[in-house]
Amino acid sequence: MALQATEEDILLARRMIGAAERHDVPALKVLLKEGSANVQDPTASVATSPLHAAIASCGKAEEGKEAGDDAIQTVKLLLQNGAIWNDLNREDETPGCIALRLGQKKVYDIMVEAGVRAEILFAKMAALGLGDHTVDVEIEEREEAAEEQPATKKQKVSEEDVKEIPQTMEDPTVLDDVSLDNHAYLKSQLRYKDKILLDSSDNAVMMDWEDQIMRRHAETINPKPGLKVMNVGHGMGLVDTAIQTHNPAEHHIIEAHPQVHQRLRETGWYDKPNVHIHEGRWQDILPKLVEQGIVLDGIYYDTFAEDYAALKEFFAEYVIQLLAKDGVFGWYNGLGADRQICYDVYTKVAEIDLYEAGFDTVWEDINVPAGLHDKKNWEGTRRPYWTIDVYRLPINTFVK
Ligand SMILES: C[S@@+](CC[C@H](N)C(=O)[O-])C[C@H]1O[C@@H](n2cnc3c(N)ncnc32)[C@H](O)[C@@H]1O
Give the whole-angstrom CA distance, residue 45 versus residue 64. 28
How high is the pLDDT of residue 324?
Answer: 98
The rounded Å distance from CA 42 to ligand 1 centre is 43
Confidence class for position 140, pLDDT limits 50, 70, 90? very low
Taking 70 as the threshold, does the pLDDT of residue 2 lie above it? Answer: no
**What is the β-pairing status of strands 323-331 and 296-301?**
parallel
Q: What pLDDT, in 10s, does the model give residues 186-241? A: 999 999 999 999 999 999 999 999 999 999 999 999 999 999 999 999 999 999 99
User: Exposed, middle or buried, 173 (CB in 10 Å: 0-12/13-18/19+)?
Assistant: exposed
State how far the Cα of 329 lies from the Cα of 231, in Å rounded to an integer: 10
Q: Residues 212, 217, 218, 220: what is their CA dihedral angle, to the nearest 10 degrees?
A: 130
From ligand 1's centre to the CA of 367, what distance in Å? Answer: 23
Ligand 1 is surrounded, with C-beta below 6 A, by: 153, 182, 205-206, 214, 232-239, 254-257, 260, 281-283, 302-304, 306
pLDDT of residue 48: 85
Looking at residues 270-293, what average pLDDT do you find? Answer: 98
For ligand 1, mutation pick of 205, 304, 331, 385 (most atoms within 8 Å of CB): 304
- Supply the pLDDT for residue 257: 98
Sign of CA dihedral 226, 230, 236, 239: negative
pLDDT at 170 over 90: no
Ligand 1 atom at minimum distance from 239 CA:
8
Domain spanning 204-398: CATH 3.40.50.150: yes
Q: How confident is the model at residue 19 (pLDDT cuts 50, 70, 90)?
A: very high
Interaxial angle between packed helices 340-357 and 105-127, expressed in degrees from 0 to 180 and rounded to the nearest 10: 50
Hey, how many other C-beta atoms are within 10 angstroms of the C-beta on 252?
A: 21
Which has the minimum average pLDDT: 123-127, 150-154, 160-164, 326-330?
160-164
CATH of 7-145, one of 3.20.20.80, 1.25.40.20, 3.30.830.10, 3.40.50.620: 1.25.40.20
Rounded to whole angstroms, how far apart are CA atoms 73 and 20? 10
Q: Where are the domains of the chain?
A: 7-145, 204-398
Q: Average pLDDT in the 388-392 region?
A: 98
Quick one: which atom of ligand 1 is closest to the CA of 254?
21
CA of 234 to the centre of ligand 1 (A): 5
Q: Which of 134-138, 327-331, 339-343 has the lowest mean pLDDT?
A: 134-138
Position 304 scores a pLDDT of 98
* Rounded average pLDDT over 74-96: 96
pLDDT exceeds 70 at position 376? yes
pLDDT recorded at residue 165: 34
Angle value at C-alpha 382, between 338 and 367, nearest 5 degrees: 35
B/e letters for 233-248, b = 16+ CB within 10 Å, e = fewer, are bbbbbbbbebbbebeb
pLDDT, mean of residues 19-35: 97
Q: What is the pLDDT of residue 181?
A: 97
Specify the pLDDT at position 42.
Answer: 79
Give the pLDDT confidence score for residue 174 in this predicted structure. 58
Give 309-328 pLDDT, tens digit per residue.
999 999 999 999 999 999 99
Q: Is the pLDDT of residue 296 over 70?
A: yes
What is the phi/psi pair of residue 232, to 5°?
Answer: -110, 115
Instruction: Give pLDDT, residue 102.
Output: 97
Region 132-137 average pLDDT: 37
pLDDT at position 278 over 60: yes
Q: Is the model's pLDDT at 144 over the cut of 70?
A: no
Residue 47: band (very low, low, confident or very high) from pLDDT cuts 50, 70, 90: low
Pocket test for ligand 1, best of 303, 311, 332 (most atoms within 8 A of CB): 303
| pLDDT surpassing 70 at residue 295 | yes
Q: What is the reported pLDDT for 215?
A: 98
Comparing 32-41, 300-309, 345-354, the range with the smallest average pLDDT is 32-41
Cα–Cα distances (Å) from 58 to 29, 114, 163, 339, 344, in that order, read 19, 19, 36, 21, 22
